[in-house]
Amino acid sequence: MGALLRIAAKDLAVLVRDKAAVLVMLAMPLGLVFILGSALGPSAGAGFDAKVAIVDLDSGPAGTRFVEGILAAEGLDEVFDIEVRSDVGEVRRDVSRGDLQAALVIPDGVSEAVAVGAPAVLEVLQDPGSQIAAGMWAGVARATASAASAEIVARRVVAQQALSRGTTPPVDLAPIVVSIEDTEVDTASRISAVGYYTAGMTGMFLLFGAMFGAFAFVRERREQTFMRMIAAPVPAWAIVGGKATGVLLATVGQFVVLLAGTSALFGVRWGAHPAAAVAVGVAESACAAGLAMVLAGIGTSERSIGAIAPAVIMLFAATGGAMLPVEALPAALRPLQVVSPVYWAVQGFLDVMRGASWAEVSTNVATLSGMAVVFLTFGIWRVSRR
Amino acid sequence: MTAARPIVEARGLWKRYGDVAAVDGIDFSVGEGELFGLLGPNGAGKTTTISMLACLIAPTSGTIVVDGHDCLTEPMAVKRTLGIVPQEVALYPTLSAAQNLAFWGRMYGLRGASLRSAVDEALELVGLAERAHERIERYSGGMKRRVNIAAGILHRPRVLLMDEPTVGIDPQSRNHILETVRRLNDDGVTVVYTSHYMEEVEALCDRVAIMDHGKIIASGTVRELSDLVGGLDVITVVADGASEADAAALKGCEGIAEADVSDDGLRLLAPRGGSALASVVRMLEGRGVRIRSLTVTEPDLESVFLHLTGKTLRD
Ligand SMILES: Nc1ncnc2c1ncn2[C@@H]1O[C@H](COP(=O)(O)OP(=O)(O)OP(=O)(O)O)[C@@H](O)[C@H]1O
Ligand SMILES: [Mg+2]
């Protein structure tokens, strides 16, 4: 056991001196989170204050109620920075410039339409570069509209009943209360773009530890330090176990730096249960250790591993939702998700950011651990056949 | 010279790679405290032999016993007895010499204060104490080889296996290494030293086995081996443009026993060196070879190899 840990510690010491490894494992994910997060989100700060606007062109009461309903909705102001504007041309321009992520336009005539029971159409202007924010805003509008419609239908039913009973309908009906309590706003989208990419890039880049671990392995074989270790009175399991543990420790360290780095630099909120985040991170690190053994077992040189590893990791990342939300994936590729460690990690991290506890991500942790066992078993078998 | 208790014994050692017999049935034993040389050209099977002694590869057949422990059944006991200096520099280039040595010391179970003093002493022995904290990648080739040796002796092994420790380095580092080997041996370490530099082996070793094509073609003390050449003299010709054809032509001459091309000319064996000189000069001038010098000497290991194989030991 002593020899195993000393081999792991030595690998760690070698790795931190490798500039390429530090660049890929730390600088790249942090840089990508920054770039993708600020390209797709309005601010790289905490939460998600997407700037949106409402323009009420309706002269009647329906539009006013609608606007009031949205402004009074609880919690919306945490997510959106809502402006009530009057010049639709100006708003359109601001959206096209990206100064606003989206805008809801209530056209003139909505009140009349509602009064005679004709369909009323609301318009959502969205910046295609801010799909997440715009999509959410459209969701809010849709939810508010359907609540309002329900209200209108209810009023009509009450009125018709009154008419059929021959009584006068009550003039002063209960005020319309627009509520988004049970709206379809996907809470997943509550995570900021920076938060999303933090989960995605962390899930993806933790696996790059596997590539450097496999590099270290073939380098030891080539430079004969491997032979020297075998010549020492150290059992073979301690050598292979030490190499795998080295990758595990390196990747856990990488995870801790990314966790601390994204929260310090970008204000990412990793949820109320850091232990849950660590559990997912450690389980994925174990996958990386296993994958390192697989790569070392099938690759013969740094060149071949350097070609295979990024391709495999990218594939895992693309199917696992590290680059785009998994919902954006073509349906045909969805079944591949379950075999991607990145998927289980990214979903786990996102859940943790939404406040999930240890128990709520235990499926992710268990799946990742199972994958780690499979990788390690296969990898160690391959490596020891060499 | 086999009076000392044998500490390494190889019997019927054989290693095949496909159709190639890298080691083709060899027997030898090394006495405790001996400095034993394994001399042979490239591909002779020296590294394969060392690797089997170190339990790194299993022989196809045969047995190895080190200090009473069989390599196959008690590899850990054998490994604890041995230190190894591999042919290639086996160190971590981005770690310092001290860090490398500390790691290798730990692999042999050294800890704490005894580890620190072992590292210091090993660096002192190879003369690199002042540069202990520099990364290996910044060292010269000769210095790397010296650290490579330090890593093999750190844990004070009773038997040290050295595989061509002086290959491709400057004379200063080479002398330093040879001096180190001598000092270790004086301190009681048994050394198995492989090389294809016969001068080195001749100067260093108590006993020598000469290998070629996986076989030991001769073994004994340097004196015993030289006697194999019998009354033959060595004629060393330093010349420009000597070829295999010239060697073949000389071999046909009367009074010449063996001839082969060497690094800087030709080497010949002749029963009476002095009287053969005239015909050698005539023959070579006739073939357009420009002779720069001619010397006649007593037989050395090089001539033993030439005598036994008809070839010179070249790089
Ligand atoms: N792993 C291997 N697979 C196949 N053939 C091998 C292997 N290792 C060695 N050989 C062959 O065995 C023979 C002896 O090789 P070995 O390395 O022992 O020679 P050597 O005496 O150490 O040579 P050198 O002076 O060049 O180091 C060579 O013909 C070599 O090609
Ligand atoms: Mg060799």
Give the domain ranges of chain A: 2-41+192-384, 50-184
Residues of chain B found within 8 Å of residue A233, distances taken between Cβ atoms: 76, 79-80, 107-109
Mean per-residue pLDDT, B136-159: 94
Is there an atom of ligand 1 within 6 Å of B96 CB?
no
CB contact under 8 A, B90 and A14: no
Report the distance separating Cα A368 and Cα A277, nearest Å. Answer: 13
Mean per-residue pLDDT, B50-62: 95
- The mean-pLDDT minimum among A81-90, A275-284, A369-378, B73-82 falls in A81-90
Residues B93-113 have pLDDT tens digits of 999 999 999 999 999 999 999
Question: What's residue A130's pLDDT?
Answer: 64
Q: How far is CA B138 from the centre of its chain?
A: 27
Contact with chain A for residue B162, Cβ under 8 A: no
Contact with chain B for residue A17, Cβ under 8 A: yes
What's the CA-to-centroid distance between A385 and ligand 1, angstroms? 21
Is there an atom of ligand 1 within 6 Å of B60 CB?
no
CB contact under 8 A, A233 and B80: yes
Question: What's residue B106's pLDDT?
Answer: 96
SS (H, E, C) chain A: CHHHHHHHHHHHHHHHCCHHHHHHHHHHHHHHHHHHHHHHCCCCCCCCCEEEEEEECCCCHHHHHHHHHHHHCCCHHHHEEEEEECCHHHHHHHHHHCCCCEEEEECCCHHHHHHHCCCCCCEEEECHHHHHHHHHHHHHHHHHHHHHHHHHHHHHHHHHHHHHCCCCCCCCCCCCCCCCCCCCCCHHHHCCHHHHHHHHHHHHHCCHHHHHHHHHHHHHHHCCHHHHHHHCCCCHHHHHHHHHHHHHHHHHHHHHHHHHHHHHHHCCCCCCCHHHHHHHHHHHHHHHHHHHHHHHHHCCCHHHHHHHHHHHHHHHHHHCCCCCCHHHCCHHHHHHHHHCHHHHHHHHHHHHHCCCCCHHHHHHHHHHHHHHHHHHHHHHHHHHCC
Cβ burial of A348 (10 Å; 0-12, 13-18, 19+) is buried
Contact with chain B for residue A222, Cβ under 8 A: no
**Ligand 1 atom with least separation from CA of B18:** 4
Is there an atom of ligand 1 within 6 Å of B13 CB?
no
Q: Which ligand is nearest to the CA of B41?
A: 1
CB contact under 8 A, B92 and A225: yes
**Nearest chain A residue (CA) to B74:** A233
- pTM for the structure as a whole: 0.74
Fold of the A50-184 domain: abc type-2 transporter like fold (3.40.1710)
**Nearest chain B residue (CA) to A16:** B94
For residues B35 and B6, the answer to whether their CB atoms sit within 8 Å is no
Cβ burial of B263 (10 Å; 0-12, 13-18, 19+) is exposed
- The mean-pLDDT minimum among A183-187, B7-11, B228-232 falls in A183-187
Question: What's residue A365's pLDDT?
Answer: 96
Question: What's residue B9's pLDDT?
Answer: 95
Q: Does position A48 have pLDDT exceeding 60, yes or no?
A: no
Residue B152: beta bridge partners?
none
Question: What's residue B3's pLDDT?
Answer: 59
Q: How far is CA B196 from the centre of its chain?
A: 5
Cβ burial of B280 (10 Å; 0-12, 13-18, 19+) is buried
Q: Does position A119 have pLDDT exceeding 90, yes or no?
A: no
Cβ burial of A23 (10 Å; 0-12, 13-18, 19+) is exposed
Question: What's residue A260's pLDDT?
Answer: 94
Q: Say if the ipTM goes beyond 0.90.
A: no
* Nearest alpha-carbon partner for B242 in B274, B280, B272: B280
pLDDT band at A310 (very low <50, low <70, confident <90, very high): very high
CB contact under 8 A, B84 and A225: no
Mean per-residue pLDDT, A264-293: 93
Question: Of the ranges A211-215, B169-173, B223-227, which is most confident?
Answer: A211-215
Contact with chain A for residue B143, Cβ under 8 A: no
Report the distance separating Cα A203 and Cα A337, nearest Å. Answer: 13
Q: Does position A186 have pLDDT exceeding 50, yes or no?
A: no
Q: Which of B17, B210, B211 to mutate to test the pocket of ligand 1 (most atoms within 8 A of CB)?
A: B17
What's the CA-to-centroid distance between B13 and ligand 1, angstroms? 15
pLDDT band at B120 (very low <50, low <70, confident <90, very high): very high
Q: B168 versus B238: which is more confidently predicted?
A: B238
Is there an atom of ligand 1 within 6 Å of B86 CB?
no
Q: What is the bridge-based pairing of β-strands B190-195 and B159-163? A: parallel
Q: Which of B47, B85, B195 to mutate to test the pocket of ligand 1 (most atoms within 8 A of CB)?
A: B47
Is there an atom of ligand 1 within 6 Å of B20 CB?
yes
Q: How many residues in total does chain A contain?
A: 386
Extended beta strands in B102-222, E state: 159-163, 190-195, 207-212, 215-221
How far apart are the CA of B51 and the nearest CA of chain A, in angstroms?
Answer: 9
Cβ burial of B306 (10 Å; 0-12, 13-18, 19+) is buried
How far apart are the CA of A234 and the nearest CA of chain B, in angstroms?
Answer: 7
pLDDT band at A128 (very low <50, low <70, confident <90, very high): low
Residues of chain A found within 8 Å of residue B148, distances taken between Cβ atoms: none
